[in-house]
């Protein structure tokens, strides 16, 4: 993903106060606004569920083979999951003591 596309994603999340976003070539494909600490929404459950489904479909359209990519990413930072860690420098494979590619 090119830098300008990542900037669109970051600016979108800053503007809405946090959340989850899918961007393809600077186009926002899906967005779930989570302005409460970046974890919770003011929206009703039906809208949040609909936005979540839309995010998953956008990821699948872009080639993701993971059924719930955002949930999968959320587990990478947990200390109880020892195999991989997501850091500010990339995805770290603990058992091999190296950074690994984020590209599928």
Task: Evaluate if residue 79 carries a pLDDT over 70.
Answer: no
50 and 1 co-located in one domain: yes
41/72 same-domain check: no
Ordered DSSP codes for the chain: --HHHHHHHHHHHHHHTSEEEEEETTEEEEEEE-TBTTTB-SS-HHHHHHHHHHHHHHHHHTT---SSHHHHHHHTT-TT--SEEEETTEEEETTTTEEE----
How many folded domains does the chain comprise?
2
Residues 49 and 81 in one domain: no
98: pLDDT strictly greater than 80: yes
48, 91: one domain: no
Residues 39 and 89 in one domain: no
CA distance linking residue 54 with residue 29, whole number of Å? 8
Structure confidence at residue 104 (pLDDT):
58
Give the residue numbers spanning the domain of 59: 1-64
- pLDDT more than 70, % of the chain: 94
Are residues 98 and 52 both part of a single domain?
no
Q: Are residues 21 and 54 in the same domain?
A: yes
For residue 94, which phi and psi values (nearest 5 degrees)?
-60, -45
pLDDT at 75: 77
Let me know whether 51 and 70 are in one domain: no
Same domain, 73 and 52: no
Together in a domain, 57 and 13: yes
**pLDDT-derived band at 55, boundaries 50, 70, 90:** very high
Percent of the chain with pLDDT over 90: 53
Q: Average the pLDDT over 29-36 and give the result.
A: 96
28 and 77 part of one domain = no
User: Is residue 64 scored above 80 in pLDDT?
Assistant: yes
- Average pLDDT estimate for 26-43: 94
Specify whether 79 is located in the same domain as 93.
yes
Per residue in 4-24, pLDDT (tens digit) is 989 999 999 999 999 999 999
């Amino acid at each position: 993903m090119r830098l300008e596309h990542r900037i669109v994603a970051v600016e979108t999340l800053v503007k809405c106060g946090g959340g989850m976003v899918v961007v393809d070539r600077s186009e926002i494909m899906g967005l779930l606004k989570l302005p409460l600490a970046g974890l919770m929404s003011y929206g009703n459950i039906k809208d949040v569920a609909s936005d979540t489904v839309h995010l998953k479909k956008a990821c699948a359209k872009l080639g993701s083979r993971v059924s719930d990519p955002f949930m999968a990413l959320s587990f990478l930072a947990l200390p109880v999951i020892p195999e991989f860690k997501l850091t500010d420098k990339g995805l770290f494979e603990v058992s091999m003591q190296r950074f690994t590619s984020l590209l599928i």
